[in-house]
Amino acid sequence: MIQNYIKQSYIKTFVHFLALMPAAWLIWQGWLLYDFQDNMLTANPIKFIHHYTGDWTIRFILLGLAITPLRKIFGWNKLVKFRRMIGLYAFFYVILHFLNYVVLDYYFDWATIYKEIIKRPAITFGMVGILFLLPLAVTSTKGWIKRLGRNWVKLHRLIYLVGILAITHNMMMVKADLFQPLIHGAILALLLGYRLYRLPIWKQKRSQIPLSPPPA
Ligand code: HEM
């Protein structure tokens, strides 16, 4: 029992370590830039950070959404222990993405930021995505899970909408190469399609289809 607990906390620490690697890499590159050393933040570091943090947000959203299908198809039930953590990392990276926009890109120019959110549909989609992620992050604690009961599951279905908003924002923001957003979109379609396929109404319909033709 205790051994299992220790093993689990080692695995959790390792997952935290992996999930923090992209942020650590970004801080390291930021330090190199600040120190006038060669770095990989390109000639436009703000744009680079936008793409980097945005991409990692989408990766964590997709990873979180992949857990249920992986459990159901392969029986990897232990993965559920990491779902909350993965969801919170999606939130962490989107906050970095938003801070980059507010602090480095617009220097807290709230009037312009407000106008952009209202006038640019791509930014509106991103903003709604963040606003929907917020209650999911806040209610991810054990206390909230208990307090909300079955409503917790219903509330957390918002993540499907967040996924769609995130991919739409990504597609609208990309200027040239649509390859990566299309791959992200295809993965999201698969993950949401799997959930649709497993809806009780389809299960009923499938069970009504006879396996072999009735005898003549
Ligand atoms: C769930 C929320 C969000 C996700 C998943 C997300 C994801 C992304 C991704 C993947 C990109 C890169 C697009 C590319 O490949 O060119 C991007 C770009 C961008 N995002 Fe977001 N984003 C979100 C919310 C926001 C919000 C709330 C804002 C600002 C209020 C924002 C501002 C931007 C901007 C300005 C760019 C373009 C950077 C450039 O090309 O110069 N995003 N976002």
Residue 216 pLDDT level (bands cut at 50, 70, 90): low
User: Taking a C-beta distance cutoff of 8 angstroms, is the pair 59, 23 a contact?
Assistant: no
Query: In the predicted model, what is the mean pLDDT of residues 207-213?
Result: 69
Convert the pLDDT of each residue in 58-95 to its tens digit.
999 999 999 999 999 999 999 999 999 999 999 999 99
In which band, very low, low, confident or very high, does the pLDDT at 201 lie, cut at 50, 70 and 90?
A: confident
84: how many CB neighbours lie within 10 A of its CB? 17
What pLDDT score does 125 carry? 97
| Confidence band for 215, pLDDT divided at 50, 70 and 90 | low
* Token duo for residue 176: 């040239």
Residues with CB under 6 A from ligand 1: 47, 50-51, 54-55, 57-58, 94, 97-98, 101, 123, 126-127, 129-130, 133, 162, 166, 169-170, 173-174
Q: Is the pLDDT of residue 209 over 90?
A: no
Provide the mean pLDDT of the chain: 93
Instruction: Tell me the one-letter amino acid at 164.
Output: I
Predicted pLDDT at 6: 82
The rounded percent of the chain whose pLDDT value lies above 90 is 85
Give 173 Cα–ligand 1 centroid separation in angstroms: 7
Residue 52, amino acid: Y
CA–CA dist 212, 215 (Å, integer): 9
- Candidates 59, 20, 86; CA nearest to 163 is 59
The CA-atom distances, in angstroms, between 119 and each of 77, 123, 157, 172 are: 44, 8, 28, 14
In angstroms, rounded to a whole number, what is the distance separating the alpha carbons of residues 132 and 124?
12
**What percent of the chain stands above pLDDT 70?**
96
Q: What is the per-residue DSSP string for 172-216?
A: HH--S--HHHHHHHHHHHHHHHHHHHTSHHHHHHHHHS-SSPPP-
- The answer to whether residue 112 scores a pLDDT higher than 70 is yes
